Chain A
Amino acid sequence: GAGVSQTPSNKVTEKGKYVELRCDPISGHTALYWYRQSLGQGPEFLIYFQGTGAADDSGLPNDRFFAVRPEGSVSTLKIQRTERGDSAVYLCASSLGESGTEAFFGQGTRLTVV
């Protein structure tokens, strides 16, 4: 597709369960970013990929969070042992290059942990 695609758009899960959130970046974009956004807050940086490798994962809150991008395109954000505090909108963005050129966002995945 033409834009960044995130699936699912909504996910409800029980506390303690494992979830995976998927991001399909714009074709040809080498940089991919994951963010978490709580209500009324700005997007909070989680992790940034350049190609297949995580260039900066300093925003991941703890070791329950992990993200992969094995072929340098699609990325999956994985959350283990989900907690109610993980409830948020998870946003993905992609851009052409390493120097932080214009990044374009998907619609986000709204995660609710009950």
Chain B
Amino acid sequence: GQQLNQSPQSMFIQEGEDVSMNCTSSSIFNTWLWYKQDPGEGPVLLIALYKAGELTSNGRLTAQFGITRKDSFLNISASIPSDVGIYFCAGTDKLIFGTGTRLQVFP
């Protein structure tokens, strides 16, 4: 079945550093979405990517949809403590989630 693999599994960084995480798939997806999940909450949508090669920004977040439609990356610039959480990529149509990247930010 369809699988999305994220790397790294976890990251521990200093406040102010930039972060990059990746998502790869064995299948082609029409749309890629990046979500952040805080403890006890549902995932919250960060960025949506619709076209192969598309590069989209949302504040300090930048994400790109790979040309092959099988991968994507998410960058966070100048990290702050509230960036802590688990980041998931997801591919549609039926919205399959990746394995997640857990981010810890130290002051």
A, B bound: yes
> A100 contacts B42, CB within 8 Å?
no
Q: Do B42 and A105 touch across chains, with their CB atoms under 8 A apart?
A: yes
**Contacts between the two chains (Cβ within 8 Å), count:** 64
Q: Tell me whether A99 and B94 are in contact in the complex, defined as CB-CB below 8 angstroms, given that A43-B43, A105-B43, A107-B41 are known contacts.
A: no
A98 to B92, CA, bound (A): 9
How many of chain B's residues have a CB under 8 angstroms from any CB in A?
24
Q: Is the CB of B31 within 8 A of A99?
A: yes
A100 engages B94 (CB within 8 Å): yes
Instruction: Determine the chain B residues whose CB is within 8 A of the CB of A91 once the complex forms.
Output: 42-43
Q: Which residues B55-107 have CB closer than 8 A to chain A?
A: 88, 90-100
Interface residues on A, range: 20 to 34
State which of A35, A48, A103 has its C-beta within 8 Å of the C-beta of B33: A103
Shortest Cβ distance from B31 into chain A, in angstroms? 5
Interface string of A73-114 (1 = CB under 8 A from B): 000000000000000000101010011111111111000000
A1 within 8 A of partner (CB): no
Query: Is A45 interfacial (CB 8 A cutoff)?
Result: yes
Q: Mark A33-54, 1 if CB is under 8 A from B, else 0.
A: 1010000011111001000000
